[in-house]
Structure 1
């Protein structure tokens, strides 16, 4: 009986994981997404066309995430007028959003309450995706940004004309 149960659970897991498409890779057209921000605003990928978008997956328990988030927030503040859009997407349900209210209030970068789309962490956090103005994935990596990384990845994309 136990062997059957284990076999059924294993088969179910395999079917569920086979049904999920792999996350996007560099060079792919960015899959569509929708997100609801902490302030209640809804944003879709279609609305962001023509902007350079950073999707930043992070967690409160992740030390590199906690170091990266203020840097990315400041960078977003400086480059928003050039067409940068950045979103902080928490990966955990263990901390209620109301406990993060002070953090979100201090940030200029929008915090995401819920996200629907074929994205997610690439095996670790932080995970960052960069989508160019034309809607193509230009960066997808599980690693924290340093200032030099942000400049190297984003400045050339922000200089490209909006279409």
Structure 2
């Protein structure tokens, strides 16, 4: 039986799509003062559960939009797994939202193959019709955000950071911001920019 993931990797269409993503989706970052809060959503998970964003308030949340055919997405996954393993006990939750049509058996098999091969332990959610992704795109950016895109949300449910694309080392910025957000409580008073630990973390990048 052919491995559906390998079939995608060998396809000229796959290679073109990957190159196009790299060209269009150059690394871009947005700090919290340029971002709106994400509308609540609810998606089914690979584990058969229904996961809603609002139910996770009180956690620091890393949302990552990805697909199996996206090479930068797959390169980023091990780094996200390391962050999750290191900080989940401190309140970090990762929601990896796959935008392929998981209702299609071969595509679901490809998703399962990637997550199992990489031993990913964080929740994998299915946005098969890209409803959540499109809603976040229009609400946060007003334009297509591409994949991979990572979004960090604080314990109060506020969107604090958005990063498009992936280059080796981006996870170091994620780590500094996650550490800052973990230290915050749900009742913190907003600090001026000069004292905001998030701005301090970003300035070190």
TM-score by length of 2: 0.60
1:89 to 72, 97, 100: 97
C-alpha distance in structure 2 between counterparts of 1:102 and 1:36, whole Å: 18
Alignment of 1:117-156 (within 5 A): 117=132, 118-120=135-137, 122-144=144-166, 146-156=170-180
Task: Give the superposition deviation at 1:116.
Answer: 5.4
C-alpha change, 1:140 and 1:122, in structure 2 (3 Å) is: farther
Mapped contact 1:129–1:140 kept (Cα < 8 A)? yes
Alignment of 1:1-163 (within 5 A): 26-93=34-101, 96-105=107-116, 106-114=119-127, 117=132, 118-120=135-137, 122-144=144-166, 146-162=170-186
C-alpha change, 1:153 and 1:42, in structure 2 (3 Å) is: same
Unaligned runs of 5+ in 1: 1-24
Matched residue SS, 1:119 = helix
Deviations 1:80-115 (A, max 9, x none): 011101111122238511232233342111111237
* Larger strand percent: 1
Q: How many residues align?
A: 140
Q: CA RMSD in A?
A: 2.5
Unaligned runs of 5+ in 2: 1-32, 138-142, 188-205
Task: Give the superposition deviation at 1:73.
Answer: 1.2
Matched residue SS, 2:136 = coil
C-alpha distance in structure 2 between counterparts of 1:28 and 1:148, whole Å: 24
* Larger helix percent: 2
C-alpha distance in structure 1 between counterparts of 2:120 and 2:59, whole Å: 20
Task: Give the superposition deviation at 1:27.
Answer: 3.9
C-alpha distance in structure 2 between counterparts of 1:160 and 1:49, whole Å: 13
Task: Give the superposition deviation at 1:122.
Answer: 4.1
- Aligned structure 1 segments of 4 or more residues deviating by more than 4 angstroms: none
C-alpha distance in structure 1 between counterparts of 2:47 and 2:131, whole Å: 17
